[in-house]
């Protein structure tokens, strides 16, 4: 098939790799403009752009797809289908209608649950038992289109956003290749019940509220790993918590109940959280023993509550 591909991050790049490996023709890749990143804030191409350049594919980085030039560029290719994965731009109806089989979206949730920008993090925060990928026929609404293919797997107790991302990216790559091989596929409308929205993650959400249960805070840490990192405040300083497990324990919320070389146990609203990896602002992620060598914490110390 002749496939136009639109995507930006690593999640999308894996799908592009799979489409190319399956032998499809990809004459054009759409991706977000280069963004400043790193300590020097130099402009960096997206993972999708890097893959496209390496494969010798033309890259198009418009600020919008609503102008006549962008529309004409896509229309001129007479593509069979456009595949979209975490692209970051709204596709107007005029573009959605151009390819012979329309536009297919690779979405990292079990629709209609977690439509929107941050389905992986929201599934973890909510304590969902499973997640998965849907290949969806795109329409004007936000992730409202009918589903062509889907697959699911359980969320494990130690899954983070990073680990789920990798599993979902691999699944999405497999499913889109399967879908392209079988087009046209029957489209199943999403049910009206069970709709939830995965709103974009804001950095302010990363702050830990010790009045919540240990089970909730465990999910909180895993959902904000790797970005932006769950944040606690101690003596006015920000400390990121990267790894923890709920354990039995009680005490004044935010208070350190025990400290040893492997963990710092902190009282929560219900139960306690045994923290095993921390990071001071500007420092490295460290296991407890190494962290304590430079930042002594003791039983009775209390994390800031606001």
Residue-wise pLDDT tens digits, 18-76? 999 999 999 999 999 999 887 788 899 999 999 999 999 999 999 999 988 889 999 99
Considering the domain architecture, whether residues 132 and 228 belong to the same structural domain is answered as no
**Residue 112 pLDDT class (50, 70, 90 cuts):** very high
**Residues 89-115: what's their mean pLDDT?**
96
Domain count, the chain: 2
Per-residue pLDDT at 67: 87
Contact criterion met (CB below 8 Å) for 234 and 266 = no
Token code pair at residue 72: 């004409």
32 domain-assigned = yes
- Determine, yes or no, domain membership for 300: no
* pLDDT tens by residue, 139-173: 988 999 999 999 999 999 999 999 999 999 999 99
Same domain, 211 and 90: no
Residue 305 domain flag: no
Q: How far apart are CA 28 and CA 52, in angstroms?
A: 9
Question: Domain check: are 145 and 125 in the same one?
Answer: yes
pLDDT, tens digit (0-9, with 9 covering 90-100), for 122-142: 999 999 999 999 999 999 889
Portion of the chain with pLDDT greater than 70, in percent: 100
Any residues with CB less than 8 A from the CB of 281 and at least 6 apart, and which?
Answer: 237, 238, 239, 240
Q: What is the DSSP string of 63-93?
A: S-S-SHHHHHHHHHT--SEEEEES--SPPPH
Q: List, in sequence order, the alpha helices (H) in 66-213.
A: 68-76, 93-96, 119-126, 161-182
In a domain, 304, yes or no: no
Q: What's residue 38's pLDDT?
A: 76
Residue ending a domain, choose from 197, 214, 249: 197
Same domain, 182 and 288: no
Average pLDDT over residues 239-255: 97
Q: What is the 3-state secondary structure (H, E, C) of the chain?
A: CEEEEEECCHHHHHHHHHHHHCCCEEEEEECCCCEEECCCCEEECCHHHHHHHHCCCEEECCCCCCCHHHHHHHHHCCCCEEEEECCCCCCCHHHHCCCCCCEEEEECCCCCCCEECCHHHHHHHHCCCEEEEEEEECCCCCCCCCEEEEEEEECCCCCCHHHHHHHHHHHHHHHHHHHHHHCCCCCECCCCCCCCEECCCCHHHHECCCCCEHHHHHHHHHHCCCCCCEEEEECCEEEEEEEEEEECCCCCCCEEEEECCCCEEEECCECEEEEEEEEECCCCCEEHHHHHHHCCCCCCCECCCC
Residue 301 domain-assigned (yes or no): no
Q: Is residue 217 in some structural domain?
A: yes
Render pLDDT for 254-271 as a digit per residue (tens, 0 to 9): 999 999 999 999 999 999
Q: Distance between CA atoms of 287 and 274, rounded to whole angstroms?
A: 12
- Report pLDDT for 306: 67
The residue out of 166, 181, 197 marking a domain boundary is 197
Stretch 9-20: mean pLDDT, rounded? 98
**Residue with the larger pLDDT of the pair 34 and 282:** 34
For residue 106, being part of any structural domain is answered with: yes
* Domain shared by 157 and 224, yes or no: no
The reply to whether 114 and 160 lie within a common domain is yes
Q: Specify if 178 maps to a domain.
A: yes
Calculate what percentage of the chain has a pLDDT beyond 90: 92
CATH code (residue 239): 3.10.25.10
pLDDT at 182 over 80: yes
Is 177 in the same domain as 34? Answer: yes
The residues near 20 (Cβ < 8 Å, ≥ 6 apart) are 26, 55
State whether the Cα torsion 17-33-112-138 is positive or negative.
negative
Which pair of structure tokens corresponds to residue 102?
């329309």
Domain coverage including residue 245? 204-294
């Amino acid at each position: 098939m002749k496939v136009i591909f639109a995507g930006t991050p690593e999640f999308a790049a894996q799908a592009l790799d799979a489409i190319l490996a399956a032998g499809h023709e990809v004459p054009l890749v759409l991706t977000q403009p280069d963004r400043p990143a790193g300590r020097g804030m130099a402009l960096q191409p997206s993972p999708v752009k890097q893959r496209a350049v390496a494969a010798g594919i033309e890259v198009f980085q418009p600020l919008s797809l609503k102008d006549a030039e962008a529309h004409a560029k896509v229309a001129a290719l007479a593509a069979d289908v456009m595949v979209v994965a975490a692209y970051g731009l709204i596709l107007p109806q005029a573009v959605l209608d151009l390819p012979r089989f329309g536009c297919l979206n690779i979405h990292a949730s079990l629709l209609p649950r977690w439509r929107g920008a941050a389905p992986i993090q929201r599934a973890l925060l909510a304590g969902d038992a499973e997640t998965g990928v849907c290949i969806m026929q795109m329409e004007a609404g936000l992730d409202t289109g009918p589903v062509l293919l889907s697959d699911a797997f359980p969320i494990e107790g130690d899954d983070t956003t990073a680990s789920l991302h990798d599993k979902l990216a691999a699944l999405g790559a497999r499913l889109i290749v399967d879908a392209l091989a079988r087009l046209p596929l029957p489209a199943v409308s999403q049910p009206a019940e069970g709709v939830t929205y995965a709103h974009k993650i804001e950095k302010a959400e990363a702050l830990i509220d010790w009045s919540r249960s240990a089970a909730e805070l465990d999910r909180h840490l895993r959902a904000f790993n790797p970005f932006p990192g769950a944040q606690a405040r101690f003596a006015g300083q920000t400390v990121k918590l990267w790894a923890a497990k709920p354990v039995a324990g009680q005490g004044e919320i935010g208070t350190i109940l025990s400290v040893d070389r492997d963990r710092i146990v902190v009282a929560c609203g219900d139960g306690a959280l045994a923290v095993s990896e921390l990071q001071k602002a500007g420092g490295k992620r460290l296991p407890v023993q190494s962290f304590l060598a430079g930042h002594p914490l003791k039983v009775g110390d209390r994390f800031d509550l606001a």
